[in-house]
Chain A
C-alpha cells in the first residue's frame, strides 16, 4: 500500500474486478497511461476493456475518416453521417469511450505516428499499434526501446478469422507466489525486428502456421508498397510467389504455410467481429497484467484462428541473438 486509497466511488465501481486482481493492482491501473494507434475493431475492443478496467488515461491516434470498413467491426462509431462527418476515427472513438468510464481520461493526438518524436512516447506506460506497415511497426518499437523507462509495446492485427498479437516488454521482472514463497522471474524480450528475423529453421516445427503466413503477407505488402490490408484475391499469385521466395531463403517447406490460409488472409482483409472480441480481450488482459505486475505475461506472440479455435502462444526469439 502506498498510502493512497481508492475512492469510495472507485471501490464500488470496480468491486468485482478488485475481487480478481486486488486493490494494489487497481491503484496501479488508475495511474497508467496508454497510447493506442489505429482505430480498428480489435483496437476498439481493447480500448473498451482497459477503459472499463480503469486505467488512468488512453490517448488515441488515427486521423482516418469513416469508411464502410471502419464501421464494419467498430462499435464505437455511430453509423450516422451527421455525427461522423468531418471527424476523425480517433475523435469519434474518443467520444464513445469517454462515456464508458468518467474516471478515465480519453483524448486524441493528431498526426502521423511514424513522425512522433521519441520523447512523445515517454509519456506512456503502454503503446499499442494496429494496422501499420512493417516499417512503422519497427520504427515505433525502436523509439519505445530508446527510452530510459520501459514502455510496454504491442502490435495487434486481425484479418479474416485470424488475429495476431506481438509483445515487447524488453526486460520484465515480476514476482509470483509459489507455495507461500515469492519467486522472482525475469523475462527478456526481443524487439519486433529481432523476433521476425529469427531464422525459420531455428523455430520448432510446430510453430503456428499463422506466424509464417503473417510474415509472408507483411513482406508482400512492403514489397508492393501497399497499405496494411490493401490486398485482394488478385494478389494471391504474388503472395504465393513471396512465400516461395521466403521459404527457399529460410529452408522451410512451403506446405507449412498452406495456400488456403494465405488466401483467407489476402481476401478477408476485413475484421471478423468475434475475433476482434477475442483478440481485444486477450490483449486487454495482457496489458492489465503488465500494468498491475500480476500474472505471467505473454511472450511474445499470440495467435487465434476461429477456424480451429485455438489461441496459441509462441515464443519467437533467436536463441543465438540473446544478449
Chain B
C-alpha cells in the first residue's frame, strides 16, 4: 500500500503512457492498482497473436483491435472508477505537440523502438516534463529517469548503432546466415515481389549477364511462361548462374571458400511429383493471407531445419503461391514477419544460398526471428520493469530528487543484486539534444545532394520528423502541410542539387541550422568539405561528429520500424551498456546466448569494482553499523571508454 503522502501525489497526478505493449500492459495495470486516477495512453499498434503470451490484457478475440483501447477496457474491469484516455495513434503525430505533453506530471515510456523514444525524449525536454524510460530483452531490462537540466536525457549517450552490412558481403561474400537472410529479404524478395522500379543490387548482377538468356530483366515473368518453369528459371539464375558469374572473379576467392552453384535439376526431379495436389492444398481457404507453402507441402514444424531439397521445394512452392494466389499484391509487397508465405520464401531462399556458401542452415523459426528483427520477450521481466517504473514515477511526483534511481534488471546477480539501482547522471554538456552544442559534418559538398543530407543525417542520424534547414536566413528546405506551391517546388528542386550548388551554396565553413518544429529542437551544424570517404566504414559518404557516434535506424529495416516491430535499442548506456537486439543478429532459441550478451554487463560491472561473489561483498563491508537508508552503494566509475565524456553522479 502506498503511504499517505504518496497517495495524495498519485491521486492528483495526470500521467502519459507511451506504448501499450509488453511493458505497457503491465504498467497500466500496476498504475491503476497503485491508485493513479488519470492515465492517458498512446499506442498505434493493433493486437497480434504473438502478443498474447505476455500482453495479458489482450485475448484472442481482440486480435486486430487497438492496443490502447482494449488495454483501457480491460483495466477498467478491475478499477472501474478511474479515467483512462486511449489514443490509437502514432506518438509522432503532430497532435501530440509540446502543449499536449505539458498537461502531464510525468511521461512513462514502454516503447519498442529507438525512433519513438528519441521523439518522446525531445518533447519531454521541450515541455519540461519528467520522463521515465524503460526497456526489456529476455530476462534483462532497465528503467531510467530523465529530468531536463538535472539528469541525462535519453540521448545524452549515443545508443549502439544497429549493425549494417557492407553491400558486397550481402551480394557476393556472405559468411553468416544473417547475410543470406538480408539478401533473401532485401534483395531477392524485394526484386520479385516488391517495387520493380527500385534500385536493387540484384539488378546490377543480372545486368552483367552476357548470354542471350539473360537479356532485359530476367526477373520478369514472360507472357504465358509456365509458373513452374518461371520458378526454376529464377532459381537457376540466382543460385546457379549468379554464383558462376561470381566465381569467375578469382580475386574474390583468394582467401575465401568458393561457393557452389546450385541448379534446380541437381536438387529436384525435373517435374514436381505432386504438381496437381499443390494448389488444391493451399486453396482450402480463399484468404490470401493464410496461403502457406509449408501447409501445401504437408510440412508442419517451424523448428525443423529443412534439407536443401526441402528448401528448394518450399522456394518453388512459395513463388508459385505468390503468383497463383496473391498476384494482386505483386509489385508492392514489402517483407512482413507476420506474412507466413513471405517468411517461408525468405527462409528457403536464405537456406539455399547458405548451402551454396557452406553456411549452416536454419529453421523457419530462427529465420523469422532474424528477418523480422524479433525482440525476445517474456512476461516476468515486463512485470518487474513496470513495477520499477511506477516506483520511480511516484518519486518524481513527490519531487524526491535525492532518491531518483536508474534500475537494471539482471539475469545473473552482481554483488548479490538481481535488481541494481544506480544514481542518475548529470546531463552530457555536449549532447546536441539537451544542450546547444554544434555538430560537425564532413561531406563532399560537390557530390552529395541536399537529399542525401536530409535522408542520411537529418532523418537517420538526428531523428527529426518535420525538419527545416536554414543557411543564415535562407531557407533551403522545409516540410509541412501549409506550404505555398512554389515553395514546395523550390524545395523539391533543392533536394536534387549538390550542396555547393544550392541557391545559398553550402561549402566548407558553412553553418547550417536544422530545426524540428514539432520537437522544438534546433541543431547547428558546421560543414567541412572532404573529398574521399571509405566505402566500407563510411557508407553514408558523410560523417557527423561532435557528440560521438549517432544511432541510426538500420536502413535495411526501415520499413519495419513503422510496424512497431522495433529493435529495442534502449539498453543500459555507457558503463552499463549492454548491446542488445539492436542489430539483425538474433538470439537462437536457447537461453545460453542471451547470457553471453548479458555477460558484458557483469564484466563491465566487475571492472568497475563490483564484485559478483559474496566474498567481494564481504571485503567491502564496513565495520560501522549502517542504517537502512544509509546508501552504501558502490560507486560506478564510468570511464574505460575514452570516447565518452566522463559522467558525474548527481549527488
Partner of A285, one of B34, B49, B56, B380: B380
Whether the pair B53, A52 counts as a contact (CB closer than 8 A) is yes
Whether the pair A205, B621 counts as a contact (CB closer than 8 A) is yes
Q: Is B589 an interface residue (CB 8 A)?
A: yes
Distance to closest chain B CB from A308 (angstroms): 7
Whether the pair A311, B376 counts as a contact (CB closer than 8 A) is no
- Chain A positions 79 through 105: 1 when the CB is less than 8 Å from some CB of chain B, otherwise 0: 110000000000000000001111000
A18: chain B residues at CB < 8 Å are 365, 589
- Chain B positions 360 through 391: 1 when the CB is less than 8 Å from some CB of chain A, otherwise 0: 00000100010000111111111110111011
A5: chain B residues at CB < 8 Å are 300-301, 303
Whether the pair A274, B138 counts as a contact (CB closer than 8 A) is no
Report the bound CA distance from A48 to B74 in whole Å: 14
Report the bound CA distance from A239 to B79 in whole Å: 35
Whether the pair A285, B369 counts as a contact (CB closer than 8 A) is no
Whether the pair A206, B1 counts as a contact (CB closer than 8 A) is no
Given known contacts A17-B54, A274-B388, A281-B387, A255 and B625 CB-to-CB distance under 8 angstroms: yes
Whether the pair B628, A204 counts as a contact (CB closer than 8 A) is no
Output the residue of A25, A45, A270, A276 with the most chain B CB within 10 A: A45
Partner of A308, one of B49, B379, B628: B628
Report the bound CA distance from A315 to B614 in whole Å: 9
Whether the pair B416, A313 counts as a contact (CB closer than 8 A) is yes
Output the residue of A53, A78, A305, A310 with the most chain B CB within 10 A: A310
Given known contacts A22-B589, A280-B383, A309 and B421 CB-to-CB distance under 8 angstroms: yes
Q: Is A272 an interface residue (CB 8 A)?
A: yes
Report the bound CA distance from A316 to B629 in whole Å: 23
Report the bound CA distance from A79 to B80 in whole Å: 8
Question: Restricting to A274-323, which residues have a CB under 8 Å from any CB of B?
Answer: 274-278, 280-282, 284-285, 288, 294-296, 298, 302, 304-315
Given known contacts A17-B54, A313-B418, A307 and B49 CB-to-CB distance under 8 angstroms: no
Whether the pair B625, A253 counts as a contact (CB closer than 8 A) is yes
Report the bound CA distance from A98 to B621 in whole Å: 48
Q: Is B113 an interface residue (CB 8 A)?
A: no
Q: Is A260 an interface residue (CB 8 A)?
A: yes
Whether the pair B379, A284 counts as a contact (CB closer than 8 A) is yes
Given known contacts A268-B3, A281-B381, A310 and B420 CB-to-CB distance under 8 angstroms: yes
Closest to A254 in B: B625
B618: chain A residues at CB < 8 Å are 204-206
- Chain B positions 26 through 59: 1 when the CB is less than 8 Å from some CB of chain A, otherwise 0: 1001101110000000000000011011101001
Measured as residues with beta carbon below 8 angstroms from the partner, the interface class of chain A is: 35 or more
Whether the pair B1, A16 counts as a contact (CB closer than 8 A) is no
Whether the pair B631, A308 counts as a contact (CB closer than 8 A) is yes
Given known contacts A49-B383, A78-B77, A309-B405, A272 and B2 CB-to-CB distance under 8 angstroms: yes
Q: Is A21 an interface residue (CB 8 A)?
A: yes
- Chain A positions 99 through 119: 1 when the CB is less than 8 Å from some CB of chain B, otherwise 0: 111100000000000000000
Distance to closest chain B CB from A162 (angstroms): 10
Instruction: Pick the interface stretch among A6-14, A32-40, A129-137.
Output: A6-14
Q: Is A195 an interface residue (CB 8 A)?
A: no
Given known contacts A274-B30, A307-B629, A311-B418, A19 and B302 CB-to-CB distance under 8 angstroms: no
Distance to closest chain B CB from A237 (angstroms): 20
Whether the pair A278, B617 counts as a contact (CB closer than 8 A) is no
Q: Is A245 an interface residue (CB 8 A)?
A: no
Distance to closest chain A CB from B407 (angstroms): 6
Q: Report A's interface with B, CB cutoff 8 A.
A: 5, 8, 11-23, 25, 41, 45, 48-49, 52-54, 72-73, 75-80, 99-102, 160-161, 176-177, 204-206, 209, 253, 255-256, 258, 260-261, 268, 270-278, 280-282, 284-285, 288, 294-296, 298, 302, 304-315
Q: List 24 A-B contacts (CB under 8 A).
A: A13-B53, A16-B53, A16-B375, A17-B378, A18-B589, A19-B374, A73-B33, A76-B78, A205-B618, A206-B621, A255-B627, A261-B628, A272-B34, A273-B387, A274-B34, A274-B386, A274-B387, A282-B380, A282-B418, A285-B139, A285-B380, A309-B419, A311-B418, A313-B418
Which A-B residue pairs are the 10 nearest by beta carbons?
A311-B419, A277-B387, A270-B1, A309-B421, A281-B384, A273-B33, A281-B383, A278-B387, A274-B387, A274-B390
Task: List 17 additional contacts besides A16-B53, A72-B1; criterion CB under 8 Å.
Answer: A5-B303, A11-B302, A17-B54, A49-B383, A75-B32, A75-B33, A79-B78, A274-B394, A277-B384, A278-B384, A280-B383, A282-B384, A302-B418, A309-B407, A311-B417, A312-B416, A312-B418
Q: Report B's interface with A, CB cutoff 8 A.
A: 1-3, 26, 29-30, 32-34, 49-50, 52-54, 56, 59-60, 77-80, 138-139, 300-303, 365, 369, 374-384, 386-388, 390-391, 394, 405, 407, 409, 411-413, 416-421, 586-587, 589-592, 594-595, 614, 617-618, 620-621, 625, 627-629, 631
